[in-house]
Amino acid sequence: MVFDYIDGAAGEGYGELLNRETIRNIRLQPRVLNNVEHRSLEVPLFGNSAGLPFGISPMGMCNLSAPGADLMLARLAASENIPTGASTAASTSLEDIIEAASGNAWFQLYFSGNETMSDQLLDRARACGYQTLVLTVDVPEVGRRPRELRRGFKMPFKIGVPQFIDFACHPVWSLTTLAKGRPELANFGGKFGEFDRTASRAGADWSLLQRLRDKWQGNLVIKGVLSADDAQRIKSYGIDAIQVSSHGGRQLESAPPAIEMLAKIRQAVGSEYPLFYDSGLRGGEDIVKAYAMGASYVLLGRPFLFAIAAGGEQGLTEMKTLLAQEISIALAQLGVCDIQSIDREMIVL
């Protein structure tokens, strides 16, 4: 059930597959005899420098992959100086995440239509030191994800006979999760009210963007954009960055490959505007391709949770090291010493 929640996507999963296939089919142009002895993976990000060219996209209920997953991600963010997303639907409170991340966390807001609840979350985020707010706009309704539905995945858990059998078949996961307490929507409960991850957010419109811009003085990122027209309009509201994303194929199965829309959006917003990218990146060369298609920074989702599920915090560190090595080797093959030198010219059409 947990694997189907993490790995699952909208419909038959073709949109999610197409994201990865499209990235895989991009070819990069090797160049030779440039001195590439000294390579750097640092990338400028909101006036600072991210230690690695990839960050952690916000994900709800990460502790389902293993107990303590949110804090493992936060510690990775702290040690590498990269951003980790603290989701509205996180299984660890936004206060605990930013502390463990030593400030390297971005708060991700789902606007539920309940302005009081959103204001309360913004106040909490501000109070504990978040400087970057990510508003996710591609979930007017939660996408239909049959693998979740078939498993009866609900938060909080509803444990019927099929779920009980499923847990019994995965004793290591079940016992460790039981021992550490079952994951909850940690930003809610008690005085903070209840959150329904499947609730409709269909009432949000452009006026929300204006209100949020007025309320949030820090960096404001709009996540989940696939249209060049939308991107231009968002930019005109004084938004600091756009995260091009198809939510990892979890929302609209028939959406175009997000990486192709990244290139179109880059053309529409000009070369200087900060554009972040996530969806379908699985290796170091994929990350380099996203920069070549126009990203100013990139983030990954599922691979982090798979690494934790497979190998805990050590697995996560190993995956980070592997990705960094792959990127560095790819830079050498392309004849450049840093990510900022990657550009569209390096793609072979």
Ligand X SMILES: Cc1cc2nc3c(=O)[nH]c(=O)nc-3n(C[C@H](O)[C@H](O)[C@H](O)COP(=O)(O)O)c2cc1C
Q: What are the residues binding ligand X (CB under 6 A)?
A: 5-6, 57-60, 87, 89, 108, 136, 223, 245, 247-248, 278-281, 300-302
Q: How far is the C-alpha of 293 from the C-alpha of 4, rounded, in Å?
A: 30
Please report how close the Cβ of residue 116 comes to ligand X at its closest, in angstroms: 20
Residue type, 234: I
Q: How far is the C-alpha of 239 from the C-alpha of 289, rounded, in Å?
A: 25
Please report how close the Cβ of residue 34 comes to ligand X at its closest, in angstroms: 31
The three-state secondary structure class of 219 is strand
Please report how close the Cβ of residue 59 comes to ligand X at its closest, in angstroms: 4
Identify which of residues 128 and 323 has a Cβ nearer to ligand X in the complex: 323
Identify which of residues 5 and 173 has a Cβ nearer to ligand X in the complex: 5
Closest alpha carbon to 4 in 146, 181, 170: 146
Please report how close the Cβ of residue 205 comes to ligand X at its closest, in angstroms: 19
Identify which of residues 6 and 255 has a Cβ nearer to ligand X in the complex: 6
Residue with the two structure tokens 């190998």: 311
Q: How far is the C-alpha of 75 from the C-alpha of 98, rounded, in Å?
A: 10
The three-state secondary structure class of 208 is helix
Radius of gyration of the chain (CA): 20
Q: Which residues are catalytic, by number?
A: 247
**Strand 54-56 to strand 297-300: parallel, antiparallel, or no bridges (unpaired)?**
parallel
**Strand 241-244 to strand 105-109: parallel, antiparallel, or no bridges (unpaired)?**
unpaired
C-beta nearest to ligand X: residue: 301
